[in-house]
Chains A and B, each alone.
Chain A
């Protein structure tokens, strides 16, 4: 089980699973902030493109339109449009796979 002590960089943001393409803000973050994140054994710096409120998600790499959004190591939805690394990922640019009004096939 994931523990707080095993979470990388608990101060700013956390990536729950190495395969995730979104991270979670652990405090209110600002556009322009450079957030350090450990992904597996490497550390990356993500420059935020938007303000990210506590608990909200931002992309750790580019996600193309209709690409899968992954958190907890599992699919949580797909991109409604192209999402850039550092961008806020939320209801404006991600949808459930159950959506009946999707522009994406499948």
Chain B
């Protein structure tokens, strides 16, 4: 394609392309999370992911946690990984590290119970291992790569009426444009498809994909009904309601616009690796951080996140570009929000004009420009749970 836009990427040994080069320390279980955090604190440029689970999990739930951890580490935004285990947990450090190593990126592991000297010795050893990996990894420089290598997750949180009116249509424009250039987009938050499933199913590439869309949406409706509770108050949440959203259907119809209008190529499980180009749906909760983590574990290298009420959240390894179309929110929270789409609500810019501006900002971020969530160190992490812990 002539004049196809390029970004600055890190091409990993497995061929996947990242736009960040993080050195990651990750705990396999909550019992090794403090050691993980302290190792990361002592190595400049390192990020920590603390797994709140990892033990006391039934198999299907365990698989979700494992897939999420491995997916975060395999994400091409990560250049090297140190896995920190306790030793007696269900999710074993060796198993996780061996799986990550299949990408060809450097991986080290430590197990607290195997170290003579307890946590002080484990931290010391971890710092040494991590410092060595960081030295090599952080010396890498990105190269010019095609924008089609981008995998973009789209998210909305703290929505209000302006989300469906303007910010989600603006992000939808960017989604369509990236897909038309050969890129990949992930739309998630299945509960926020309730009432909009027919629109999505009509855009499915096949009957199988359409059936899957109805199936995942129906699953969430039945789950809420099984507790004999209405969604209102949860979906929409109190802030959504204050912002003018009355029902889940209204929220959904506004929310799905951020995925644009292209054909839906497939439906992914939570944190499942996205393979292929175009638009994909991932089955995640609407709970923002769980949703963003699921998409990043599935391979998203950047996220565009619309908000009406305003939110500071980010991700440990993927840049999160914050967008609002609420002029009051933008003025109050511009320290946290990267892009003002209120121009569309105020009628001074069209969706297409604001979409072009946002697309260019997205490219800049993919060339290394730091988002406000990155600059302020917002790195929230939580994993979707499907069965209570045992």
Contacts of A72 in B (CB 8 A): 164, 253-254
Q: How far is the CA of A11 from the CA of B346 in the complex (A)?
A: 8
A66 on the B face (CB < 8 A): no
Is B351 part of the contact surface with A, judged by Cβ < 8 Å? yes
Contact with A along B193-227 (1 / 0, CB 8 A): 01110010000000000000000000001001100
Q: Report the bound CA distance from A96 to B220 in whole Å.
A: 14
Contact yes or no, B249 A97, CB < 8 A: yes
Q: Are A4 and B162 in contact (CB under 8 A)?
A: no
Would A1 and B173 count as touching, CB distance under 8 A? yes
Which A residues are within 8 Å of any B CB, using their own CB? 1-5, 7, 10-11, 14, 16, 24-26, 53-57, 69, 71-72, 74-77, 89-91, 94-101
Mark interface residues in B124-153 (1 if CB within 8 Å of A CB, else 0). Answer: 000000000000000000000000000000
How far, in whole Å, are A24 and B161 apart by their CA atoms in the complex?
Answer: 8
Contact partners of A98 in chain B: CB under 8 A: 194-195, 221, 224-225, 230-231, 248-249
| Alpha-carbon gap, A90 to B232, bound state (A) | 11
Specify which chain A residues have a CB less than 8 angstroms from the CB of B349 in the assembled complex: 4
Bound CA span A16–B250, Å: 12
Shortest C-beta distance, A94 to chain B (Å), equals 5
Specify the chain A residue showing the minimal Cβ separation from B251: A76
Residues of B within 8 A of A11 (CB): 347
Q: List, in ascending order, chain B residues with CB within 8 A of A56's CB.
A: 161, 244
Give chain A residues whose Cβ lies under 8 Å from the Cβ of B328: 54
CA distance A25 to B244 in the complex (A): 10
Closest residue to B164 on the A side, CB-wise?
A: A72
Contact A3 B249 (CB under 8 A): no
A87 to chain B, nearest CB (A): 13
- Chain A residues closer than 8 Å to B253, beta-carbon distance: 71-72, 74, 76
| CB <8 Å contact, B345 and A91 | no
For the complex, is B57 an interface residue (Cβ under 8 Å from A)? no
Task: Specify which of B160, B241, B244, B348 is in contact with A4 (CB 8 Å cutoff).
Answer: B348
Contact B351 A1 (CB under 8 A): yes
The B159-215 residues at the A interface (CB cut-off 8 A) are 160-162, 164-166, 169, 172-173, 194-196, 199
Nearest 9 pairs between A and B by C-beta?
A55-B161, A10-B347, A55-B244, A76-B250, A77-B247, A56-B244, A3-B350, A96-B247, A76-B249
For A5, the chain B residues whose CB sits under 8 A away are 347, 350
> Which residues from A are CB-within-8-Å of B243?
55
Which residues of A are found within 8 Å of B194, using beta-carbon distances?
A: 96, 98
A26 to B345, CA, bound (A): 7
Distance between B188 CB and nearest chain A CB, rounded to angstroms = 20
